Structure 1
């Protein structure tokens, strides 16, 4: 079975004598599949009237675990966002009813950002959309093939992480 990446490799193999077709095939397939998932994610978010950055804030708050709240400083670091940018985004999400901001009862100097019921519902709906898109993408694989793919990618990820920081930011309680 041939795909468009095979045709890409065939073309570039004529142009670049030392092109490794297996490396080029694996990397190009990973890149194009991630781009496909990103487009599907954006379409699903648009259908739910959410922007990508809005979902990312909701996801980070949800990842904080119960009671699903965090300080703006932690959120800015977790999202790799400038504090002023995050403040603007939190303003918009609060106006839309997805989150609230309140002083920490144990330390009035600290502000806490928390998901509202509407924020939880939006996150749950969009995570369901993403899960469906991911399952549809991997549906051609058998259970054993999917496990093998996951194991092989884990091996590559572990080697990359051995040389640098974690690829996935830790999900930690603020």
Structure 2
């Protein structure tokens, strides 16, 4: 490995190798780098979302509604499942999005005890603009990898996630 290709994780691994040569710490390198990448990406994604007046969780809800297709309507339990969030947490998030005019609540005619959540016209405009910028941002972040390497990394991470599930 050339010196210019070494990173902070290599430095940590070198220190551990010196102190604990009896351990195989190769997985520590993998997961240390995954964690560092996640922190950088999370920060850059938050910058894009903030420019559109959204929090990460708001984006998740609006994106779930938008990708559900016309009429862009789901019940709160479906939304909770799609964004892996508790029903109680979803209620406060929906309150905030409704107050901002990004979603609309209506009684579910099939079950008057339940509500339907719909993406408002304003919400659709916001999520479409945000998603356009978000996709460009992610493409820029991934541009340091050749297309073949990005595809390989995608496959490897999918395999790892499958093994961890």
- Scaled to the shorter chain, the TM-score interval is 0.7 to 0.9
1:64 aligns with 2:68: yes
Aligned equivalents of 1:53, 1:64: Cα separation in 2: 17
Aligned equivalents of 2:25, 2:118: Cα separation in 1: 49
2:158 matched residue in structure 1: 154
Aligned equivalents of 1:80, 1:138: Cα separation in 2: 26
The count of corresponding residues between Structure 1 and Structure 2 is 161
CA RMSD of aligned residues (A): 2.0
Q: CA deviation at 1:133?
A: 2.6
Aligned equivalents of 2:115, 2:43: Cα separation in 1: 34
Aligned equivalents of 2:26, 2:141: Cα separation in 1: 21
Gaps of 5+ in 2: none
1:120 aligns with 2:128: no
Gaps of 5+ in 1: 162-174
Q: Which has the higher contact order (CA 8 A, sep 6+)?
A: 1
1:25 aligns with 2:32: no
SS of residue in 2 equivalent to 1:66: coil
Give the TM-score normalised by the residue count of structure 2.
0.84
